[in-house]
């Protein structure tokens, strides 16, 4: 457990943000599929290090039979598609939580293409037993309402299939910007791919790996935006972000404008300034950027803004059930929330006096960081299992200290 005491004065700090694991994990797959041995600058986070290690193991030891992806959903999904498309019989598994996260849309799509992927225990969920073989490609239909990572997995491997791939998307398309990010990375590395409204065409080709494609993580910036919004006075300089990024979470700048934060580019750095003009009511649709929900939800609660959020259907199958996790912990702190259904969430102004300041993190990095940011408004907090931030932002607690927070292990 860690005790977090926010600074009493202005919040002024320069933060070197971690690299984007969304980009890094795609780049690691592309590097593997290209056959390149070039070094690639990785974020120092659990997910990307695991992706690198498992792909390196697959490259060097073709006899490995079990691949354990832990809590890393991206790793599991991307690696499943790669294993299905190469010769060899293997089991791919993960943590207990991973075995509760659905994977049927990806499995169904791969098997449509002639793959041999089977559920080891419960239908629709990991672990999977894969009898891998080179796939010829063709046309495939996939449910796009569960995870964009299923689609990105198919896209990246599709370029190595004999006839390429035509992916038809059905249902509500969630996290569309992440599909567009995959398109951009593939195009930048020699693959002819087009994304239409409900159709993706990937032509067969040879990847030309570019190790220079990396940038800081816009998702990590969300917690600093939250602190800027909640502080009495703030001047936070964020380093490493790309102004023209394909990361969907760049939508932060627009969303936080209504929560009192000005985003101003100063050369290569992004300066966050608190202007304090906060909307009386706040509404947002998170269909394209679900990872921003925890930071924005705690910000609205801390500011006492009446809020309604939609586009949240995918949050139940993240590292934790984030609608439930965020709602439970906000209520623990005395904030008034309404978890209305599987796709929406409301926050009412006000906070009851009697509350508990011991925050559970549910093994979820985004819960830990979002509620740490909320301490600026809520006061001293105790956060259980603070090490979970290593999944995406290992230096988070150090950066908080640099900003004047007191973080004491207890």
Determine how β-strand 281-285 pairs with β-strand 306-310. Answer: parallel
Tell how far CA 164 is from the center of its chain: 27
Q: Quote the CA–CA distance of 318 and 100 in Å, as a whole number.
A: 10
In angstroms, rounded to a whole number, what is the distance separating the alpha carbons of residues 204 and 165? 8
pLDDT tier, 143 (very low <50, low <70, confident <90, very high otherwise): very high
Q: What is the pLDDT of residues 220-246, one digit of tens each?
A: 999 999 999 999 999 999 999 999 999
Strands (E), 240-380: 259-266, 269-278, 281-285, 306-310, 335-341, 344-351, 358-359
Q: How far is CA 171 from the centre of its chain?
A: 21
pLDDT band at 111 (very low <50, low <70, confident <90, very high): very high
Neighbours of 199 (CB within 10 A): 12
- Over residues 373-398, the pLDDT tens digits come to 999 999 999 999 999 999 999 999 99
**Predicted pLDDT of residue 317:** 86
Residue count (the chain): 410
Mean pLDDT, residues 109-134: 97
* pLDDT band at residue 73 under the 50/70/90 scheme: very high
Q: Cα torsion for 308, 309, 315, 319, to the nearest 10°? A: -80
Question: What is the model's pLDDT at position 104?
Answer: 97
**28-50 confidence digits (pLDDT tens):** 999 999 999 999 999 999 999 99
CA dihedral 349, 353, 354, 355 (to 10 degrees): 50
In order of start, what are the domains of the chain with their CATH numbers? 2-19+215-409 (3.65.10.10), 21-202 (3.65.10.10)
Quickly count: other Cβ atoms within 10 Å of residue 134's Cβ: 13
H or E element in which residue 25 lies: helix 21-34
Give pLDDT tens digits for 296-312.
999 999 999 999 999 99
What are the structure tokens assigned to 22, written together? 């969304």
pLDDT score of 286: 95
Q: pLDDT value at position 17?
A: 97
SS3 355: coil
Q: Mean per-residue pLDDT for 165-194? A: 97
Q: What mean pLDDT do residues 153-161 have?
A: 98
pLDDT of residue 63: 77
Q: What is the mean pLDDT of residues 15-34?
A: 97
- % of residues, the chain, pLDDT over 70: 100
What's the pLDDT score for residue 129? 98
What pLDDT, in 10s, does the model give residues 314-368? 998 899 999 999 999 999 999 999 877 788 899 999 898 767 899 999 999 999 9
Least confident among 191-195, 290-294, 353-357: 353-357
Is the alpha carbon torsion for 177, 272, 406, 333 positive or negative? Answer: negative
- For every residue of 266-298, DSSP letters joined together read ETTEEEEEEEEEE-SEEEEE-SS-GGGHHHHHH
Condensed to tens digits (0 to 9), the pLDDT of residues 168-182 reads 999 999 999 999 999
Q: Among the options 71, 217, 288, 291, which is catalytic?
A: 291
Known catalytic membership, residue 291: yes
Q: How many C-beta atoms surround the C-beta of residue 352 within 10 A?
A: 10
- Model confidence pLDDT, tens digit, residues 251-275: 999 999 999 999 999 999 999 999 9
pLDDT digits (tens, 9 = 90+) for 198-218: 999 999 999 999 999 999 999
Alpha helix segments (H runs only) across 71-194: 73-84, 104-112, 148-158, 176-187
pTM of the model: 0.95
Report the C-alpha gap between 361 and 304 in whole angstroms. 23
Q: Which pLDDT score is estimated for 352?
A: 86
pLDDT at position 342 is 80
* Separation between Cα atoms, residue 372 and residue 298, nearest integer Å: 10
């Amino acid at each position: 457990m860690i005790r977090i005491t926010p600074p009493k004065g202005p919040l002024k700090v320069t933060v070197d943000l971690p690299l984007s694991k969304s980009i890094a994990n795609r780049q690691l797959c592309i590097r593997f599929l290209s056959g390149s041995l070039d070094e690639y600058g990785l974020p120092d986070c659990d997910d990307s290090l695991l992706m690198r290690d498992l792909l390196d193991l697959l490259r060097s030891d073709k006899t490995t039979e079990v691949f354990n992806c832990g809590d890393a959903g991206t790793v599991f999904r991307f690696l499943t598609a790669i294993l299905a498309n190469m010769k060899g019989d293997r089991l791919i598994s993960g943590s207990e939580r991973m075995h509760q996260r659905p994977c049927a849309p990806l499995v169904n799509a791969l098997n449509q293409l002639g793959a041999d992927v089977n559920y080891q225990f419960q239908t629709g969920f990991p672990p999977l037993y894969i009898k891998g073989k080179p796939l010829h490609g063709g046309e495939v239909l996939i449910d796009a309402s569960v995870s964009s990572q299923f689609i990105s997995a198919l896209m990246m491997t599709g370029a190595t299939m004999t006839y390429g791939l035509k992916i038809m998307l059905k249902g509500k398309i969630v996290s569309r910007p992440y599909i567009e990010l995959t398109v951009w990375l593939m195009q930048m590395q020699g693959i002819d791919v087009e994304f239409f409204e409900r159709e993706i065409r990937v032509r067969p080709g040879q990847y030309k790996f570019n190790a220079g494609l990396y940038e800081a993580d816009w998702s990590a910036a969300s917690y600093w935006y939250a602190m800027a919004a909640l502080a009495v006075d703030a001047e936070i300089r964020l380093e490493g972000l790309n102004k023209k990024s394909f990361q969907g979470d760049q939508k932060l700048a627009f969303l936080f404008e209504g929560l009192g934060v000005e985003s101003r580019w100063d050369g290569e750095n992004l300066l966050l300034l608190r202007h304090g003009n906060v909307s009386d009511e706040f509404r947002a649709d998170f269909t394209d950027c679900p990872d921003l929900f925890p930071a924005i939800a705690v910000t609205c609660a801390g500011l006492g803004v009446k809020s309604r959020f939609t586009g949240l259907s995918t949050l139940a199958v993240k590292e934790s059930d984030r609608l439930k996790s965020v709602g439970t912990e906000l209520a623990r702190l005395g904030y008034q929330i309404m978890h209305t259904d599987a796709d929406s969430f409301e926050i009412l102004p006000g906070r009851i006096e009697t509350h508990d300041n011991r925050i559970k993190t549910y093994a979820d990095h985004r819960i830990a960081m979002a509620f740490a940011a909320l301490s600026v408004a809520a006061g001293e907090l105790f956060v259980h299992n603070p090490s979970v931030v290593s999944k995406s932002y290992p230096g988070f607690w150090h950066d908080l200290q640099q900003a004047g927070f007191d973080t004491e292990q207890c």
